[in-house]
């Protein structure tokens, strides 16, 4: 399977019940020398791909690390969180890539 899909491919497959589309954007702003990181949920609520869901990276990160560290959790913990978002063993997951409106990253969860 290819890692990227076109906007046309996505439009043709939006009705596929196995397809789960997520936006997991974050907003990074700098104040003096410190970055401020916040969820991109507000932007997703204003405008998003029909049928998509917002996946908060902070909620998907390792719960044993400092908040907002966005570190990789264990596979079993991540699988449980992904399952709560509607991802099943036969799902195809498409994550919208902010900054490149013409392509989205795709991962096959099988």
Q: What is the DSSP string of 25-57?
A: -EEEEEETTEEEEEE-HHHHHHS--TT-EE--H
pTM: 0.74
Domains assigned to the chain: 4-108 (3.40.250.10)
Task: Judge whether residue 70 has pLDDT over 80.
Answer: no
**Secondary structure class of 89 (helix, strand, coil):** coil
**pLDDT number for residue 101:** 38
**Helix, strand, coil percent content, the chain, rounded in steps of 5:** 25, 30, 45
Confidence of residue 106 (pLDDT cuts 50, 70, 90): very low
Least confident of 41-45, 58-62, 80-84: 58-62
Q: Could you tell me which residue, 109 or 80, shows the higher pLDDT?
A: 80
Strands 19-23 and 26-31: unpaired
**pLDDT number for residue 27:** 82
User: According to the per-residue pLDDT averaged within each range, which of 1-5, 18-22, 74-78 is highest?
Assistant: 18-22
**pLDDT number for residue 98:** 60
Task: Judge whether residue 102 has pLDDT over 60.
Answer: no
């Amino acid at each position: 399977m290819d890692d990227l899909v076109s906007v046309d491919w996505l439009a043709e497959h939006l009705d596929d019940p196995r397809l789960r589309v997520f936006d997991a954007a974050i907003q990074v702003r700098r104040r003096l020398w410190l970055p401020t990181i916040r969820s991109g949920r507000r932007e997703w609520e204003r405008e998003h791909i029909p049928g998509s869901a917002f996946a908060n990276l902070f909620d998907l990160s390792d719960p044993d690390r400092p908040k907002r560290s966005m570190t990789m959790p264990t596979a079993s913990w991540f699988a449980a969180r992904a399952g709560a978002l509607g991802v099943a063993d036969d799902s195809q997951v498409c994550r919208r890539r902010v900054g490149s409106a013409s392509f989205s990253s795709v991962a096959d969860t099988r």
